[in-house]
Structure 1
Amino acid sequence: MGNKKNFVLDTNVILHDYKCLFNFQDNDIYIPIVVLEELDKFKKGNDQINYNAREFVRELDEITDDDLFTKGAKLGPDLGNLSILVGYNYPEEVKAAFPERTPDHLILAATHFLASKNPDTKTILVTKDVNLRMKARSLGILTEDYNNDKVTNIDIFESEQRYFDGIDPQIINDIYKSHEGIPAEKLGLNIDFKSNECFILNSGNSTVLARYVSATGMVKKVIKEKNFGIEPRNAEQSFAFELLNDPNVKLLALTGKAGTGKTLLALAGALRQSREYKQILLARPIVALANKDLGFLPGDEKQKIAPYMQPLFDNLNVIKHQFSLGGADYRYLQDIQDKGQLVIEALAYIRGRSLSETYCIIDEAQNLTPHEIKTIITRAGEGTKMVFTGDIQQIDSPYLDSQSNGLVYMIDKMQGQSIFGHVNLVKGERSELSELASNLL
């Protein structure tokens, strides 16, 4: 047990993953009493962090061992002990650097106390707060991020679709001729394709946009076609439409920087298939900026969330403007909105619902935690398709990053499943100015 460590958990780790206690192997876990006080402030509310706070307190309540406040209570087989740190002082070293006794500084004091008490055991503060990690290091306290749900390989979120040269011209000809496609092994590439991966095949004289169909093991051509008035402007957008229009791909992720068309493509795909689903649901998480929550905004509940939903309405208006004001398609769009078949709302409102026969689009999914993504997907009933869109470089949550957000976590875990697909959009199509800003600023 010479390598056994002591881990002190910050509040934000628990709010990120209420099951975190069971992810530290046989190492011992310590929770400063001030963390429980902070959790108490988060118990009321309908957001995921409120749910996590309540669930964690329930987990603690099941540990009835009185040793929780002394020598620690056993968490389970092959796991360490859990202890609540109480009665620690505010050491002079911490006081000199941080005289104000804020919750963060009290957590530093608890970690300093534990490290001093156990000099032969590594004591590590685990927090998702970068600033607190900096403060800890200034005091010589070991610290690290909560890495349990971090994705190590994020290259697939930054690269273009794969391009294969030197393909036999006859093979490309066969792909063009066959509706079902050809067996993947006939390509002679000797590689493992990702779930429903799309790519470009080139023989030198001819090129085909192709897709690997996970359910059949075949490679088929991707047809460039319009979706409800929206025409793909590049190969990546054609790939997105291919998977958006396939009812057998029940879970799809569209990633890419701003201006690549993620949300617009997803909405156009949903509208094309609107008669095959009872409802189209567009939702996005509400992430307040500049420390201003919904209470800061005037009006009732619907008026408060309206500014956050406006980007979704903007994309709907882009599609509407493809048609004449009195045309059949325009009237149809207005009609399904009026009848509640096309709904745009805040993501928090779908908690507890069962989404059957619904085409569900979750926008800005990079601002969700892995647990939130799981909660949403488990809402899916029979006949439901879920599309998650997001830019992993534009994360508004202070405790998520490009490796730990729920969108990349889902993509990483779902690879290999025949009902899953992922398209990364690289080329911006919003405008020349938008593309220039995205690349240079």
Structure 2
Amino acid sequence: MTQRIQKKNYVLDTNVLIENPQSILTLQNGAENNIYIPYHVLMELEGLKKTPKLRHIVANVVNLLLEHKDTIQFLRTDNVASHFADIVDNYILDEITSSDEIEDPILVTNDRILQLQASLRDIKSEELRDSRPFESESQLFTGFVEKEDERVPNCFSWLEGKPVFHGPETDKVIGYQNEVWNVKPRTVYQNLALELILTEHIDLVSIQSDAGFGKTFLALASALYLMLEKKQFDKIYVVKPTIEIGAKLGFLPGDVTEKLEPYVKYIYSLLGKLHTVRKANKVFINPNDDVPKLNPKKFEILPLTFVRGMNIENAIVIVDETQNLSRSEVRALLTRMGEGVKCLCLGDTSQVDNVYLNAQNNGLNWIVRKFKGFNNYGHIVLKGDKSRGPITDMVLKSKL
């Protein structure tokens, strides 16, 4: 006699739908499980569709909900939140507990506080499994391996105190110091990051580190070197996710460049420093100006939204703060990369500002998780006793 498998009843929170719209179908698993969407989740989606950064994701969620509305059950309520933003989670829990339709509901949410609130009401909850690719993968895989059977293309190991680079076909002892744009690495890890960037067969490099270990400075120096000296690329792009903690980007005056300025001042500062180290005249319209403007034919800073629809070729692309991108945003960005592109993805998974992501579920971790083992990908974690200065050193050592 065949034992009947009992269906699970999943109630989906907004953050799960935003992170992965396909979670509806994944959890439904054909007709194996039931999917419930609270009314207040729909209200949250209504509010989020006005956010430019999330508008296309919300549209995907709504399309899936409409396409499968006959197999999804929506929880109705007569009690609508009046002060919506602050208490919507409580209303979602109310909708679950007051529903007579759901037997043994399981709330699927990546919000740890909501999981705790659910437990206080005896509601089972769990995180979307697909949202935790691996516990801080971009930190756990440092770029180094200890055993021969752990080797993946473009990783490193130690041999008699010297790093060894394991390419797809050959091994090489790194007994020399790389130098780009008159910039010398301060640590062995910075030197190995440059090794990955300068290796021609590697198209995508990800670099993880705490604040102040020179990720962006090294990337910019390498980009200037590869474009202006080696002439391997025609243009440099810097892609920057604009996580708005204060004023909204759209409320700031001016064109795109002026709107981005508060978010990218450090890029201009680093470029100015590199221009002092060695002249990079071609990236400026008039390098002799007191505040020289970038030459858009050679150097362009783009918000993530502007990359959608582009076809990038013959360029070096620096993606800063990759930890603030979602999996779907990383996919959308990297699929813009055409022929002759080298992409450098920089980030720090301990500094996630995107409210829908966390230290494990973010774009940098997804890159390491999915691309580790490819012949044209490399990853490294920058370490060391010193960062950008003594105050930053104290912050890192004290774990402030």
- TM-score bracket relative to the smaller structure: 0.7 to 0.9
- Take 1:45 and 1:433, find their aligned partners in 2: how far apart are those partners? 37
* Aligned partner (choices 35, 39, 42) of residue 33 of structure 1: 39
Q: 311-320 vs 402-411, which deviates more?
A: 311-320
- Take 1:300 and 1:272, find their aligned partners in 2: how far apart are those partners? 30
Does the alignment pair 1:342 with 2:299? yes
* Aligned partner (choices 173, 187, 198) of residue 221 of structure 1: 173
- Take 1:99 and 1:55, find their aligned partners in 2: how far apart are those partners? 23
* Aligned partner (choices 6, 9, 17) of residue 6 of structure 1: 9
Instruction: Spell out the pairing of 1:52-71 with structure 2 (5 A cutoff).
Output: 52-63=57-68, 68=70
- Take 1:100 and 1:348, find their aligned partners in 2: how far apart are those partners? 25
Do the aligned partners of residues 369 and 101 (structure 1) sit closer, same or farther apart at CA in structure 2, a change above 3 Å counting?
closer
* Aligned partner (choices 80, 98, 101) of residue 113 of structure 1: 98
Cα deviation code 1:189-217 (max 9, x no counterpart): 54221330123311xxxx43320102x2x
Question: Hey, what does 1:258 align to over in structure 2?
Answer: 211
Q: How far 1:300 sits from its partner (Å)?
A: 4.8
Q: How far 1:155 sits from its partner (Å)?
A: 6.0
Does the alignment pair 1:51 with 2:62? no
* Aligned partner (choices 394, 397, 400) of residue 436 of structure 1: 394
Do the aligned partners of residues 105 and 281 (structure 1) sit closer, same or farther apart at CA in structure 2, a change above 3 Å counting?
same
Cα deviation code 1:112-146 (max 9, x no counterpart): 134x5444xx3111223333333323322222332
Question: Hey, what does 1:331 align to over in structure 2?
Answer: 281
Cα deviation code 1:227-285 (max 9, x no counterpart): 11211111101110011112211111000000111111111111111121121101110
Question: Hey, what does 2:264 align to over in structure 1?
Answer: 309
DSSP 3-state at the match of 1:321: helix
Task: Note if contact 2:142-2:379 (Cα within 8 Å) is conserved in structure 1.
Answer: no
Task: Note if contact 2:138-2:364 (Cα within 8 Å) is conserved in structure 1.
Answer: no
* Aligned partner (choices 146, 151, 162) of residue 208 of structure 1: 162
The TM-score, its normalising length taken from structure 2, stands at 0.87
Task: Note if contact 2:37-2:74 (Cα within 8 Å) is conserved in structure 1.
Answer: yes
**Aligned letter for 2:134?**
T
- Take 2:34 and 2:20, find their aligned partners in 1: how far apart are those partners? 17
**Aligned letter for 1:141?**
I
- Take 2:139 and 2:225, find their aligned partners in 1: how far apart are those partners? 27
Cα deviation code 1:150-184 (max 9, x no counterpart): 123436505766486xxxxxxxxxxxxxxxxxxxx
DSSP 3-state at the match of 1:338: coil
- Take 2:154 and 2:184, find their aligned partners in 1: how far apart are those partners? 22
- Take 2:344 and 2:182, find their aligned partners in 1: how far apart are those partners? 20
Does the alignment pair 1:195 with 2:150? no
Cα deviation code 1:305-345 (max 9, x no counterpart): 2111112222212212213xxxxx34344369425211122
Do the aligned partners of residues 133 and 299 (structure 1) sit closer, same or farther apart at CA in structure 2, a change above 3 Å counting?
farther
DSSP 3-state at the match of 1:313: helix
Task: Note if contact 1:229-1:322 (Cα within 8 Å) is conserved in structure 2.
Answer: yes
Question: Hey, what does 2:74 align to over in structure 1?
Answer: 84
**Aligned letter for 1:4?**
K
Do the aligned partners of residues 22 and 302 (structure 1) sit closer, same or farther apart at CA in structure 2, a change above 3 Å counting?
same
Q: 143-152 vs 238-247, which deviates more?
A: 143-152
C-alpha RMSD over aligned residues = 2.7
Task: Note if contact 1:254-1:389 (Cα within 8 Å) is conserved in structure 2.
Answer: yes
Identity value in percent: 27
- Take 1:34 and 1:375, find their aligned partners in 2: how far apart are those partners? 29
**Aligned letter for 2:295?**
D
Question: Hey, what does 2:89 align to over in structure 1?
Answer: 104
DSSP 3-state at the match of 2:131: coil
Does the alignment pair 1:294 with 2:294? no
If you compute each CA radius of gyration, which structure gives the higher value, 1 or 2? Answer: 1
**Aligned letter for 1:22?**
L
Q: How far 1:45 sits from its partner (Å)?
A: 5.1
Structure 1 unaligned residues grouped into runs of 5+: 74-81, 165-188, 324-328
DSSP 3-state at the match of 1:345: strand
Instruction: Spell out the pairing of 1:347-366 with structure 2 (5 A cutoff).
Output: 347-366=304-323
Do the aligned partners of residues 155 and 386 (structure 1) sit closer, same or farther apart at CA in structure 2, a change above 3 Å counting?
closer
Q: How far 1:220 sits from its partner (Å)?
A: 0.9
Q: How far 1:425 sits from its partner (Å)?
A: 0.5
Cα deviation code 1:4-27 (max 9, x no counterpart): 321111122212212111221332
Do the aligned partners of residues 159 and 234 (structure 1) sit closer, same or farther apart at CA in structure 2, a change above 3 Å counting?
farther
**Aligned letter for 1:16?**
E
**Aligned letter for 2:36?**
Y
DSSP 3-state at the match of 1:191: helix
Task: Note if contact 2:134-2:365 (Cα within 8 Å) is conserved in structure 1.
Answer: no
- Take 1:133 and 1:209, find their aligned partners in 2: how far apart are those partners? 45
- Take 1:54 and 1:281, find their aligned partners in 2: how far apart are those partners? 28
**Aligned letter for 2:74?**
I
